[in-house]
């Protein structure tokens, strides 16, 4: 039996693409990354947080995808001037999923907003916009085509990320929020050259969590290294299943 | 434990809504209809047909949603002049899901394209465009808002559909393909006034299948009767689970 | 005290103009025509038909404006292939208003869809699309700018319309439905050269009703004759008030 | 007899939605809020201020909706660099309606621009753009979906607003003008965390006025508390009628 | 003194290009053709026909440009189903200009709609749409780039046109109206291969008129022959001036 | 004989409105203002400056309309960062027209860009963008509808402008360039409240020049005072003709 | 030394993609197909036919890509009603290239329009639109995504095409012109089920020509068989080089 | 034999102009400039840098066109906040072409991005955005139509550029990157008035390189001087061929 991976889905409201009908969706890159790692993906529609236990009990691992800003009300701030669109119901469902995943000891792989959500779920805080970061010097929303890496990250070579990418790599970048204070259970393992956290992992070996700020799912067809993040995730899942 | 319903998802390619990134998605009405029937929905990305067994073994019922035309190559015809866009990979995955659902005796609820796909999967044929139907007299792609019923259907009062709606009802309508020859295992249970099949069910009581040509998921918030199709589906699922 | 004129309003759903928010609205030409006739206009939002008595008791006259197609289900037909968008809730509210207006002996002025609705309310029928009219020979949806008359009508010189316009006039034209059978209480008073009814009035002198198929409210600033339809309406209202 | 509520309408010029025809309109949320409070709404087209007495004498209460900026010429300033679009004819008509409402002792409920207009009508002043407010720290034009509250307000618990919402609530926010000096007859009853007035009421108990800066009409279907503002308004109207 | 050429201008209403402001305009190709023929162009705004005498007395020649359909009411027909947009005020002004030009013995050069208008001004009739022409066999609205000739015309070699182009040429084509009956004072001098009139001239040598159905002003930069039509026109003007 | 007014026209390149064909045009407000003042307008296409003598000798007065920025190279500056689009060929032709108009003692009326061009033609300078003006405090590109005045100007009551408008008026405003140093032959006669020149006239009584920074041609139908600027211009023209 | 392949390029005029600047271009699929066949592609801009000798002498093979309709004037017909856009200068240059390629005995691979152009260059004729083909029964412009084959072709198994694909295959389809009479030097080798020629080859073994009506370059990434057409072409080129 | 000029092409991804198909392209101005200089242009698709030797050995000169930003990673910087889109694969291929051109002693003509790429290829650096240049005072992205020169450059009269244009000229301008440190082998020969390098040439007479920052290819039809840059390039090529 292949492992079953739950991808926490998003909702698209009022868009022409669908004649104005809302849809539940997830970017295809996440689907493909999981499939190519020889696992079975299903998408979770945004649901009542009380369903999180049911959802997590059906799957073997949790993938947190990109999307809206995380609501600042969740880390004790009012919306500042450059906050983007938030979707509090998604925040609530994903925080419940994350807690349930930990409770059931199921591995997590988090991308971009996923990384930010995880940090907030465990008590961390965010810059509501990268321009709030005093040392900002690198472009974090690239205009270059999404399949192409744009800026350099330095990596802790002893981390899971480091074992895949070595101590330096060029990644793509599309985020306007960023980690301010990292939550206690996590350790940073990669940084942009202006000092923002680009990846973190669980400190405790009993938790299997990898979170990255860039978008590996958009680079799959142009950079084979990015698939390894998915393959590594599925390996971590299989290890916990046995 | 609530029943888990697999919704066979769709893919959106090349669309502005998502900056050109493809997505796996399903219309929110299907998600909502299942949730309001007190079941747990997950979305299946279009996958290799060989995964159909894994997918069906994880869920308790299968929902087939709307979307592209069914490829005429599947019922022995070349594309005629008014054929719409098809997506053969979806056809193949959903036919495999349908066969596996039957094999595992899991109930099916099919909507619009879902109805057409089911028919083709079991040997039926389609009009590639309603204008190929000689007796065509009713508008089958309504311009009226989707939440509003537009044309009348007559219903076999002894059918499952008939038990919900009685012997006549006004439904919405958005289809340009339609059933030509109904596949052997099915019996028609509703018709438009110009004679097209608007709903069918399994002849055999060992199979639990309901298929409708209209879009109940778009009328949920304006016509409470439409929720009953989802509630009935979940009841059928629970019955098979026990 | 000036007379108060109720304009039966319309609803606009899902449109960019309003960031997707629905609005209650009426074309400004109707507002202006009433104001320039020295009366006070208010717009009625589409409401429950049961509110029609309350609404009509507040005003002195009823103006029926243009808009969606009238639902063919109201005159015993299924939607034919070229039917446009309908809005059954508006049909129901306006039919109730019309009946209440008659009951309270309050004058009516009806334009385009208003003429069609009135006809259906009293048992008449419509061509769902002008192309269903066998003798069709004149363009009834003009491409010429709306302020400019496009085709000729011939007029019964003894009618109210005839007293304003004489026995022939050039009017604008934007309708794809048209009167098939005129309802019993009405008499036709103007026709296009291919024979479609372009205006009707109440046969009985106890009812004060004028209905036109063209759009006088769009020609107000370019053709002073068109204001006379509004001025005549307000005169009819004042006569009934005293 | 149900109370009749006059909603001061707006005008939309030159927009594609209507093929460039101007329309009189009001957002549907105001219509729905009044209807659900069991009152009868009519929309007032923007009219000559001299008609305000006629208009107010026909209705039992006045609802001031959102829309354009209030012209700074009305409070003694020239347009500053970030002023938005104004519509002086609407300002003039609504100021006349407000004065007439007070004269006839009819209750008022004001939303967003309505609150600003009321303040200016009684001698208050506005920030032409929130960026003119020195202590600005909160995002007042949210990117989050309009049905979702975005920032926190603190509320005087003894006020009408406070009796509905308690001493703190999360509301939506779409305004770029804001109150600078509050007019004398009013007292502030709610504030954003950066100190802007979010709601005010009449000081004198002989006047029945409630004004809010956020948009309750856009949250009706997602937050039942927002309907209470409309229900409270209709209660105030009924009290004055008797 | 160079000759002064009056170009009968057009009006553009409601267009985004000009933020919705109407403009008086003429295609630049007419301006350039006249300038390159060493004459001075001015554009006449559409005016009251009574101004035609004043206008024609100021200039030495009249150029009739392309544009809207000619109103069928002018040649005794009602609008048929495929009529395009008309602009009766332009028709009226140009007919007055044409008559005045003849009265003052000033040469005319007419292009596309100009040819049609001239024909109607002198009692000719038009096909309201080329599809009304029973022998239609050639595409008269080309999809090929406007600078490129698309179909062949045969030419009376003894005509003015024939002296420029010889007895056959390939011209561009953008017209959906066409000459049905040619007015008495004119003789056809060129035809498409399916028999429609592509150019005519005055029969009488006392009148200096050349009219073409294609658009030489759009081919100026790619086909030097087309400039000759303008140069010939200015030569005819100079001849009459002396 | 009515006076003939030359309106210096503009060119529109590459725009969808005209399928990408360039056109010579002028806003209709200028045409209408001249017509309503009982004069005859013609539009001058942008031409070689050497044609200016021919053009001015045909007409009795010159109207300079709005449009592009004036090239800073003409007043000795390089393009600064916020310069808008310029059209040097129009600058050159209009400067030649202006000089010829003076030489032939023909009156000028200049609007917006026309005012700026006149100033530069006589040695004045411009702010390339109003934000270059240190004392800027008023919004000079209004968002309010163009028919509505937005900011106040103070006026020299002894000037021609003052005789029309009195010493204060509210005008519309759409300019991002503005007068820096006024050319020697002119005197300022109106100012915005932040001190920019809003109108000037010729110092010498032998020259008949009025120039305004706002757009009277856009307010004609809503503010009868604006027509007086055109009527006054035609009066000045007639005076010089005799 | 790798073979050098000349791809006859196209021109794009007036398009937004390039701010209205024309470009010389070729679809990337042709570039990729050649590169993956281990040859070197260069793109020929449309040039004077006299340059064809220079161009062909620089390269080892010629690839004719898709694009505009071939002008019917080249095969003795006037444009019929459904002709698409043509580009005669491209036709002329490519016909010259084809003749030069034959003269220099250099292989040709032709796709879609390339096939049609080749046919016309050697005296064949075309249906200007597939609807002119009396036996039309298959959809030749698919709505299905371009990477997916849509209709079936039958193939002469002894042809070059047959050696690649066998005697039947499903290909994509985007053409509205089609071969009527095949030119003498060619033999048809594949047909759609309604009888249109889908591929042809040179009869004479001294000429190395393969031409297909479908678009293999759009299916490269989804159907490995399509690359074989390019690989076969390069093999044919290498054979001639030695 | 005419010289063959290789134009290093660009790629356009995901654009509507081409239904989302990528294309290899080059702006037509470069093609035309080369053709009018009596040479033969071919376009090089972006290729593996290893093909650069093959490509350069086929042609006699290299033209580097405009386009994307040069990646800052190539000159040791991370992307700064205003970096535009880059395309690293193009950078790599063009750097290889440049080096090969030098190795084979073939002349280069570089425009805009071409100038920047050349500078980086030889060790120079760039301002990632002109706003990073402290002395910035001139608008370097003009809004004025591209055919029209906008700002002044001063030129070393002894340079190749100087021999064409003299010591001062007005050029168009569309660049947001600019030269910071000029690479060692080059000498600046033209400057904007705020001091940015507008052209450079090779110091060594053994290298034949001219690079300009503006866009001569867009001014060809309006300024005959610009063709001379192409003609001079082809002369330099011919000189090296012999």
Has residue A242 got a pLDDT over 90? Answer: no
Give the chain D residue whose CA is nearest to the CA of C219: D21
Q: What residues in C contact B194, CB-CB < 8 Å?
A: 78
Q: What residues in D contact E20, CB-CB < 8 Å?
A: 14, 20
Please answer yes or no on whether D138 and A78 come within 8 Å at the CB atom: yes
Has residue C28 got a pLDDT over 80? Answer: yes
pLDDT at E208: 96
Query: What is the pLDDT averaged over residues A39-63?
Result: 98
CA distance E196 to E182: 11
pLDDT at D189: 98
Q: What residues in A contact B44, CB-CB < 8 Å?
A: 42
Q: What residues in D contact F170, CB-CB < 8 Å?
A: 73
pLDDT at C230: 98
pLDDT at C205: 87
pLDDT at H28: 97
Has residue E113 got a pLDDT over 70? Answer: yes
Contact present, A and H (at least 3 Cβ pairs less than 8 Å): yes
Report yes or no: B115 and B66 within 8 Å, Cβ to Cβ: no
pLDDT in tens, chain D (242 residues): 899 999 999 999 876 666 778 999 999 999 999 999 999 999 999 999 999 999 999 999 999 999 999 999 999 999 999 999 999 999 999 999 999 999 999 999 999 999 999 999 999 999 999 999 999 999 999 999 999 999 999 999 999 999 999 999 999 999 999 999 999 999 999 999 999 999 999 999 889 999 999 999 999 988 999 999 999 999 999 999 87
Range of the domain at F157: 4-241
B20, B21, B22, B85, best to mutate vs chain H, most H CBs in 10 Å: B20
Please answer yes or no on whether H79 and A139 come within 8 Å at the CB atom: yes
pTM of the model: 0.95
Query: What is the pLDDT averaged over residues F59-63?
Result: 98
Q: What residues in C contact E87, CB-CB < 8 Å?
A: 144-145, 148
**CB-based contacts of C158: which residues, under 8 Å, 6+ apart?**
none
Has residue A40 got a pLDDT over 70? Answer: yes
If pLDDT is split at 50, 70 and 90, which confidence band does F19 have?
A: confident
For residue H29, the number of C-alpha atoms closer than 13 Å in the C-beta half-sphere is: 21
Q: What residues in D contact F145, CB-CB < 8 Å?
A: 13, 85, 87
Question: What DSSP assignment string belongs to F120-154?
Answer: HHTT--EESSGGGSTT--S-SB--S-TTS--EEEE
Please report the sign of the dihedral spanned by the C-alpha atoms of residue F18, residue F21, residue F27, residue F28. Answer: negative
Which of D31, D11, D215 has its CA nearest to residue C17?
A: D11
Report yes or no: B219 and B147 within 8 Å, Cβ to Cβ: yes
Query: What is the pLDDT averaged over residues E209-214?
Result: 98
Known catalytic membership, residue G175: no
Please answer yes or no on whether G16 and H16 come within 8 Å at the CB atom: yes
- Residue range C78-93, pLDDT digits in tens: 999 999 999 999 999 9
**How many angstroms separate the CA of residue A117 from the nearest CA in chain H?**
25
If pLDDT is split at 50, 70 and 90, which confidence band does F186 have?
A: very high
Please report the sign of the dihedral spanned by the C-alpha atoms of residue G163, residue G168, residue G170, residue G172. Answer: positive
H81, H91, H129, best to mutate vs chain A, most A CBs in 10 Å: H81
| Helix-, strand-, coil-residue percentages of chain G, each rounded to 5 | 35, 25, 40
- Give me the catalytic one of F94, F100, F112, F201: F112
ipTM score here?
A: 0.96
**How many angstroms separate the CA of residue D14 from the nearest CA in chain E?**
8
Tally of structural domains, chain F: 1
Q: What CATH number should be reported for the domain holding residue B155? A: 3.40.50.880
pLDDT at D205: 87
Please answer yes or no on whether D80 and F136 come within 8 Å at the CB atom: no
Cβ contacts below 8 Å, chain D against chain E, sum to 4
Mean pLDDT of chain C: 96
- Residue range B39-55, pLDDT digits in tens: 999 999 999 999 999 99
If pLDDT is split at 50, 70 and 90, which confidence band does A130 have?
A: very high
- Residue range B57-75, pLDDT digits in tens: 999 999 999 999 999 999 9
Has residue C16 got a pLDDT over 90? Answer: no
CA distance C23 to D23: 11
- Residue range H212-232, pLDDT digits in tens: 999 999 999 889 999 999 999
Paired sense of beta strands F151-155 and F186-192, if any: antiparallel
- Residue range B199-240, pLDDT digits in tens: 999 999 889 999 999 999 999 988 999 999 999 999 999 999
Report yes or no: B111 and B217 within 8 Å, Cβ to Cβ: yes
Chains meeting C at 3+ CB pairs closer than 8 A? A, B, D, E
If pLDDT is split at 50, 70 and 90, which confidence band does E242 have?
A: confident
- Residue range G146-162, pLDDT digits in tens: 999 999 999 999 999 99
Instruction: Compare C19 and F125 and report the one with higher pLDDT.
Output: F125
- Facing residue for F143 by CB, picked from D80, D85, D88: D85
If pLDDT is split at 50, 70 and 90, which confidence band does G205 have?
A: confident
- Residue range F135-155, pLDDT digits in tens: 999 999 999 999 999 999 999
Report yes or no: C189 and C201 within 8 Å, Cβ to Cβ: yes
CA distance C207 to C205: 5
Report yes or no: A8 and A44 within 8 Å, Cβ to Cβ: yes
Neighbours of B171 (CB within 10 A): 24
Dig out the tokens for A10 from the structure.
């998003």
- Residue range H103-130, pLDDT digits in tens: 999 999 999 999 999 999 999 999 999 9
CA distance G133 to G130: 5
Please answer yes or no on whether B16 and A16 come within 8 Å at the CB atom: yes
Phi/psi for H212 (5° steps) reads -125, 150
Burial (Cβ within 10 Å: 0-12, 13-18, ≥19) of residue A166 = exposed
**How many angstroms separate the CA of residue H13 from the nearest CA in chain B?**
11
- Residue range H36-61, pLDDT digits in tens: 999 999 999 999 999 999 999 999 99
pLDDT at G156: 98
Q: In what order do the strands lie in the sheet with H10-12?
A: G10-12, G23-27, H23-27, H10-12
If pLDDT is split at 50, 70 and 90, which confidence band does G17 have?
A: low
CA distance E238 to E232: 10
Q: Residue count of chain H, please give it.
A: 242
- Give me the catalytic one of D140, D151, D175, D215: D215
CA distance G227 to G219: 9
F12, F75, F81, best to mutate vs chain H, most H CBs in 10 Å: F81
Neighbours of B50 (CB within 10 A): 9
- Residue range B87-109, pLDDT digits in tens: 999 999 999 999 999 999 999 99
């Amino acid at each position: 039996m292949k492992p079953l991976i739950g991808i926490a889905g998003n909702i698209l409201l009022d868009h022409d693409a669908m004649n104005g009908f809302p849809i539940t969706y997830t970017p295809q890159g996440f689907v493909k990354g999981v499939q190519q790692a020889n696992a079975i993906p299903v998408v979770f529609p945004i649901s009542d947080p009380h369903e999180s236990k049911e959802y997590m009990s059906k799957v073997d691992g949790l993938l947190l995808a990109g999307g809206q800003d995380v609501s600042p009300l969740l880390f004790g701030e009012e919306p500042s001037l450059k906050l983007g669109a938030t979707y509090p119901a998604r925040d609530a469902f994903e925080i419940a999923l994350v807690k349930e995943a930990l409770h059931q000891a199921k591995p997590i792989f988090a991308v971009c907003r996923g990384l930010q959500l995880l940090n907030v779920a465990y008590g961390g805080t965010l810059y509501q916009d990268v321009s709030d970061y005093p040392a900002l010097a690198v472009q974090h929303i690239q205009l270059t085509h999404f399949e192409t890496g744009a800026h350099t990250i330095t990596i802790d070579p002893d981390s899971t990320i480091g074992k895949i990418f070595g101590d330096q790599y060029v990644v793509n970048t599309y985020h306007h929020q960023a980690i301010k204070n990292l939550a206690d259970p996590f350790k940073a393992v990669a940084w942009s050259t202006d000092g923002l956290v680009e990846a973190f992992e669980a400190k405790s070996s009993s938790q299997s969590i990898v979170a990255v700020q860039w978008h590996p799912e958009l680079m799959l067809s142009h950079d084979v290294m990015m698939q390894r993040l998915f393959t590594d995730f599925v390996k971590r899942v299989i290890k916990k299943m046995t």
